[in-house]
Copies of this chain bind each other. A is one copy, B any other.
Amino acid sequence: MKIGLDILGGDFAPESTILGAIEAQKVLPTEQRIVLIGDEHAAKQRIQELGARIEDFDFVHAPDNIGMGEHPTKAIAKKPDSSIVRGFDLLKNGEIDSFASAGNTGAMLVGALFSVKAVPGILRPAIATNVPKLKGGSGLLLDVGANADCKPEMLNQFAILGSLYIEHVLGIKSPKVGLVNIGEEEEKGNILTTTTYPLLKNNSQLNFIGNIEGRDLFTDLADVMVCDGFTGNVILKMAESFYVVTKKKKINDEFFDRFNYEQYGGTPILGVNAPVIIGHGISPPEAIKNMVLQSRAMIESNFIDKIRSVFN
């Protein structure tokens, strides 16, 4: 198994990514190797300085970096030697089994769509994020930004993708699917949700439990929470801001602490032909480590094959 990691991606790269990779490597068996993609010479030097062994890692030299503020499509076209472009080349050619980066989110999304591409039958892949639950555990919210405008059939596919992820990667059988909406009743909502509701209700592949509201996101009502990428992105950023506020105010609470993205690693792109994970720009080493372990879980569970067999 080869787990690809962009060591140039993220606000604290490469220090944070190398530290995270070293921590992750310690818990991996010998046959599971991390492939570090970035400035090979600098990486090797830093790993040795940190007292780790360079022979425990694979390296792919990609000296260029796509900055956080760069236009995704333009940057990908102009920077063939960037870690993100090289990473997707490797992924496409089967030289790595997964690719993770805390770099430019748009470039990761565009790179995934252009290289490994969407699984046949999938209208639009989605970005999914973990949502901590008040009673422990976590749910999955998607889409959180890949698709600002959605059609009902897209939300129906997000529900399937999220269910497969929860079931196969997280190991929860028959996950409960909720449609993020503004009322409990079937007829409530906007045009998108009222037309999506019957699709979910009549989809025998889903354990659809109905509408969930903004107040239900952190309860146990649903494991998979489906919405358009605009709504999901607003929810995600608002939740993050609440977490930041509790930290600033030195409120230490087990629930709010679980909003800490470090614990989750990153947010997977669901619906493309390989495991791809996007990390938070400000990922510290712990988040990088968990992103590597999350990549492994997606590979080990044969998640992509599960998607392909459902959408075939």
Contact = CB atoms under 8 A, between A and B. Distances in A.
Interface of A: 134, 145, 148-149, 180, 182, 189-191, 193, 213-218, 228-231, 233-242, 244-245, 249, 251, 253, 255
A217 to B, nearest CB: 6
Contact of A236 (B214, B235, B237, B255): B214
A20 B34 CA distance: 65
Given A182-B233, A213-B237, 6 more contacts: A148-B189, A149-B191, A193-B230, A215-B238, A234-B234, A242-B242
Contacts of A228: 190
Query: How many of these chains are in the complex?
Result: 2
B190 A149 contact: yes
Given A148-B182, A182-B145, A214 B191 contact: no
Main secondary structure on A side of the interface with B: helix
B255 A241 contact: no
A126 to B, nearest CB: 14
A106 B213 CA distance: 17
Contacts of A251: 251, 253
A240 B253 CA distance: 18
Nearest to A240: B215
A227 B230 CA distance: 11
Contacts of A239: 214, 238
Contacts of A180: 234
A223 B84 CA distance: 39
Given A182-B145, A189-B148, A191-B149, A218 B234 contact: no
A5 to B, nearest CB: 26
A245 B229 CA distance: 26
